[in-house]
Amino acid sequence: MADGREILYFDAVQHTRPDSIDVRQLPDRNVNSEIRFDRLLGEWVVIAAHRQTRTQLPDRTQCPLCPSRPGSPTEIPASDYEVVVFENRFAALPGVSTHSSALADHVAGSAPTSPTEKSGRSEVVCFSSEHDTTSAQLGVERTRMVIDVLAERTTALRAMPAVSQVFCFENFGAEIGVTLSHPHGQIYALPFTSPRAAKIEANARRYRDEHNRNLFGDMFAAERDSGVRVVCANDEWTAFVPTAARWPYEVLLFPNRRVADIPELDDHARTRFAELYLDVLGRFERRFDEPMPYIAAWNQAPKGAEDFWWLHLQIFSIRRAPGKLKYLAGAESGMGVFISDTTPENVAAELRAVTP
């Protein structure tokens, strides 16, 4: 790209793309992120104030993720594309450096080894050149292509020595915080293990040590055997509402056979995922009179947990009822104690009842 960022095109059929030259005059990249350590919680926090200037819900004609047109260049120089990945112009992670003064304040032994400079990477994944489509409308073939792209990028990013976890996700709906309505997702190559993954990893290790069994597997088997919270399933995947769901509408998609990350999924599992994922998104889209805003977050194994981790996708929405959103109030924001407005068993039954 014109400012030195990398862009990758993924197509079902090979293209030469002679029109994919970025002719824009872009300013120098201003990525000035810091990673600071919260000693009380034992977690890393990314400080990325430069992201305040990122594009915010532009008019359709100004969408930076649409293909370029004569006189209207965008982040995608080509006039058309299938799936595209590029480094985020408003990246949270590239060029990350530790905050020296904050780190100097740490008492000896209070913080783990700090992430190294230039140790992370933020990428944007555009699912389609069609601005007005959604992930729920992509179809099995394109959804499968997106999964293949996520697998390839996960493999490439995990190979970076300083990367601890590759986090792939999609935000949908302005209510959830989306700043661009074009169908897309993001990938964060984190130079540390996220708080959620670290907590899951610790619990799974402890369970293995105490019971010589896999925590993911035992939990998943119990959900499948009960069936009360299962929404839908096929021969490779099962979608269910977790028994202690924190969000009003929350579904986990588990592969029926344990794999640690997306690259480990074979061809059949990837295709069957695409089918079940579209089924679940369709139920989210049709549960109320308007599509539910959601976050779809891949939980892949952090480095060092591959031998027992069970890949899964978490999809959740802040929509709790027609015209009503779930806001994090005092207990949730202040103490991390979630208070759910819905019952997991009822939510599963409601989603099962939605016509596919």
The binding site for Zn(2+) consists of 63, 66, 131, 182
120-151 burial code (b ≥16 CB/10 A, e <16): bbbbbbbbbbeeeebbbbbeeebbbbbbbbbb
Q: Helix, strand, or coil here: 267?
A: helix
Q: Is 50 a catalytic residue?
A: no
Q: Name the binding residues.
A: 63, 66, 131, 182
**Annotated catalytic residue, options 184, 211, 268, 312:** 184
Tokens of 189: 């190559």
Long-range contact list for 137-141, CB < 8 A, 24+ apart? Answer: 138/183, 138/278, 139/278, 140/271, 140/274, 140/275, 140/278, 141/12
Rounded-to-integer distance, Cα 87 and Cα 2, Å: 12
Amino acid at site 151: A
CB atoms within 10 A of CB 307: 9
Radius of gyration over alpha carbons of the chain, in Å? 21
| Catalytic sites, residue numbers | 184
